[in-house]
Chains A and B, each alone.
Chain A
């Protein structure tokens, strides 16, 4: 969808530049485009989404629910936080008007511009600033516009935020800091709007790294990150911002960190993934059942660091086989850590080599995305080979 609009914007703005480009109104420019909006995407055939979103069951424990997509559930979590914690502030690039992904819509109007504000365009500054806010005792919720642009802040995250408590002997800490960032492939994001950098951070003691698979998970896990007394990075699968819709409680609730969730029970094989890839795995499990008669247990890891070794190992002890899949490149990806740990702890139970189906060891490509991602067919093929091992 976004690609279509982007394409459109390029075409039309070039054709209409003579008449309207002097004008600053974004809305005007786009309204002008609207007539062609319906016709263009037809000519530009898009590859179907590589996953089918499967909503979670409607939660009953946390009061009334409202239909929300993922970006709305993030807003809801932020709204709950600002309402209950007067020290909490939200900042980053373009968050004031609602954010480029709409995650902060309405919050500035509701809570004031000293609590929801734009920063200069500088990621190291955003994270450094957030650490300072947290060190002074307030709650800091920083946004990095795309996970791809978190690397300028790598030093502040790895050398500073993660080590603040340890190095000071617990005199000072950055535990009140949460960094949110849109994450993962989006169909057309190419090198710098698609990355999944969780493994870079998984090597850094002191951090927590969390990835939700849908709106209910996003809100509960984000609220836990914000409440957690450690610096957390919360990666939001941006392809799900609009695509994933389910009933989300409006009141605050927490989903515990460092706890994986068995989203589907099975007996022959364990499939582990996080973020969007959980939905791919669910489809793979269905395919395996239908085509091969193989019963797969699907686990959403949810927290990358510190991860839930127990749940994963318990499952592998039962099934004897483990397939791990992530969008990020395979070498040095977090699947390697899971694989090696499970191999150490479940050696006698393993009946086939642990298999990783991941992105290739290349940068994330533009036009080749359908071939790059570890889609259900690649995962299904791996299941087939493992079961016949």
Chain B
């Protein structure tokens, strides 16, 4: 296909070039022709030892021995970290030295997300919502990166980035409204749970098809660059989604079109049941960045300060230099993929326990706070109680609320209501009037 198309393009271009040129006066054409011919004939023979490659496709030297480039997967791109598993700052010069209130806010947002996850996960188990996906183990990547952004920066996500919204102040009621698809849901109850979106918080609505958001993020970043508004775009995705063709498109477009964009990959080791050694054979995702001409870094995703530092710097440079950055945050998916998945079918409980107990972003930050004297058992107990209460209250409110009006099934397909859709809506209501006892009308707004 590529060859045929190549031919067609060549012919198309040549054809028009010919047409255009034939319109020029003949003497100029002849001149041009003579010039080109003499150019071809006047090539001087020269010493091959000083020969420089002239290929337009790459800037490189010749080499006179055959050697394939070896991928380095044993000793890969190093993982940047700021604090160790006990919450100790390793290199003081890398300490972001965030004030107490900021760090407490990090911790509270991470734990509030965790509490919400537990309650909504359980509510799915009880059949009260249809579906849920937890964020266990990846809370640090969300909060650390979100904190390093400007609130006006546009966020494109996959589905496991609820912490970014949490950090930006998305109310618990709206999280719940979306999962319950009740009348308060900004998305009007049309999408599955956890497909959040918020215009006011610059968080583009989540969709299920994986990686589609990557080239979109590039386009949005391009538009923001033209606006000259000092805004960046961040685009989150998992390491599995990075295998999609759209990831390739997004990386390449953002580099060639010089977009102020941060690609943030959550490499948590699994795409549902597929471990990373069945996902790729290179050095993870970060190693692909340089291939696209993109500045890249790998970071300890369980270290909220490390995530914060790399995102902060990437954001600063992306906006200043109009170029994309790739951050690969190494982490571990502690929870099941979703409520429709039992991860013990493909990985050991011991493996999960290690990450839950020995290397968790929340406990690591807590160690740090304890060492600073900012947090103790008492605060922990009080916050747990309070956060649980906040979540439960929102949960109960959401559950009591009616579903959106059924008319909303037909709106927003197009900006306007088309005559065809208006007719279908009418016919729907005629049917409902006649058969109302067979439909759950009482659960919906009137």
Whether, in the assembled complex, B127 has its beta carbon less than 8 Å from a beta carbon of chain A, the answer is: no
Say whether B250 contacts A169, CB under 8 Å: no
Residue A130 at the B interface, CB < 8 A? Answer: yes
Give the contact stretch, choosing among B83-91, B187-195, B275-283: B187-195
* Given A125-B250, A132-B222, A206-B413, also A159-B15 (CB < 8 A): no
Closest to B9 in A: A100
Q: Can you list 18 contacts pairing A with B, beta carbon distance less than 8 Å? A: A9-B14, A27-B32, A31-B29, A98-B16, A101-B12, A127-B215, A132-B221, A133-B223, A135-B220, A136-B220, A164-B205, A166-B412, A167-B205, A168-B186, A169-B188, A171-B197, A192-B4, A306-B414
Distance in Å: Cβ of B229 to nearest Cβ of chain A: 10
Q: Which of B105-113, B241-249, B342-350, B392-400 contacts A (4 or more CB under 8 A)?
A: B241-249
Q: Which residues of B contact A19 (CB under 8 A)?
A: 40
Considering the complex, give the chain A residue whose CB is closest to the CB of B43.
A22
CB contacts (< 8 Å) of A193 on chain B: these are 8
> Are B197 and A206 in touch, CB under 8 angstroms?
no
- Chain B residue nearest to A152 (CB atoms) is B245
Question: Which residues from B are CB-within-8-Å of A26?
Answer: 10, 13-14, 17
B57 located at the interface, meaning its Cβ lies under 8 Å from any Cβ of chain A in the complex: no
Interface positions of B (Cβ within 8 A of A): 1, 4-5, 7-18, 21-22, 29, 32-33, 36-37, 39-40, 43, 154, 156, 185-188, 190-191, 195, 197-199, 204-205, 207, 209, 212, 214-224, 226-227, 245-246, 248-250, 252-253, 256-257, 411-416, 418-421
A30 adjacent to chain B (CB < 8 Å): yes
Are A156 and B219 touching (Cβ within 8 A)?
no
11 new A-B contacts at CB < 8 Å, known A124-B215, A155-B209: A20-B37, A28-B32, A30-B17, A125-B248, A127-B215, A128-B246, A132-B215, A133-B220, A135-B204, A137-B223, A160-B212
Provide the residues of chain A in CB contact with B227, threshold 8 Å: 87, 136, 138
Asked if A122 CB lies within 8 Å of chain B CBs, one says yes
In this complex, which of A136, A145, A167 has the most chain B Cβ atoms within 10 angstroms of its Cβ?
A136
Interface residues contributed by chain A, number (CB under 8 Å): 78
Select from chain B the residue with minimum beta-carbon distance to A163: B207
- Which chain A residues border B205 with CB–CB below 8 Å? 164, 167-169, 171-172
Q: How far is the CB of A64 from chain B (nearest CB, A)?
A: 24
Q: How far is the CA of A363 from the CA of B419 in the complex (A)?
A: 35
B212 touches A172 (CB 8 A): no
Contact yes or no, A31 B33, CB < 8 A:
yes
Q: Which of A98, A100, A137, A169 has the most CB of B within 10 A?
A: A169
Task: Give every chain A residue within 8 A of B207 (Cβ-Cβ).
Answer: 159-160, 163, 167
- For residue A86, which residue of chain B has the nearest CB? B226
User: A175 near B: Cβ within 8 Å?
Assistant: yes
In the assembled complex, which residues on chain B have CB atoms less than 8 Å from the CB atom of A310? Answer: 419
A57 on the B face (CB < 8 A): no
> How many contacts A-B (CB < 8 Å)?
231
**Which A64-106 residues have C-beta < 8 A from chain B?**
87, 89, 94, 97-98, 100-102
Task: Say yes or no: is A388 at the interface (Cβ < 8 Å to chain B).
Answer: no
Q: Known contacts being A2-B15, A258-B418, is A136 close to B224, with CB within 8 Å? A: yes
Are A100 and B215 within 8 A (Cβ)?
no
Q: Are A131 and B216 in contact (CB under 8 A)?
A: yes
The answer on a CB contact under 8 Å between A159 and B226 is no
Selected contact of A27 from candidates B17, B214, B252, CB within 8 Å: B17
Q: How far is the CB of B81 from chain A (nearest CB, A)?
A: 32
Instruction: Indicate whether A286 reaches chain B with its CB closer than 8 angstroms.
Output: no
Minimal beta-carbon separation of A82 from chain B (angstroms): 13
A29 contacts the other chain (CB 8 A): yes
- CB pair B18 A30 closer than 8 Å: yes
Which residues of A from 207 to 265 have beta carbons under 8 Å from B? 208, 228-230, 258
Q: Which of A22, A129, A160, A163 contacts B40 (CB 8 A)?
A: A22
If the complex has contacts A136-B223, A159-B207, are A171 and B22 also in contact, measured as CB distance less than 8 A?
no
**In the complex, which residues of chain A have a beta carbon less than 8 angstroms from the beta carbon of B246?**
124-125, 128, 155-156
CB neighbours (8 Å) of A160 from chain B are 207, 209, 212, 216
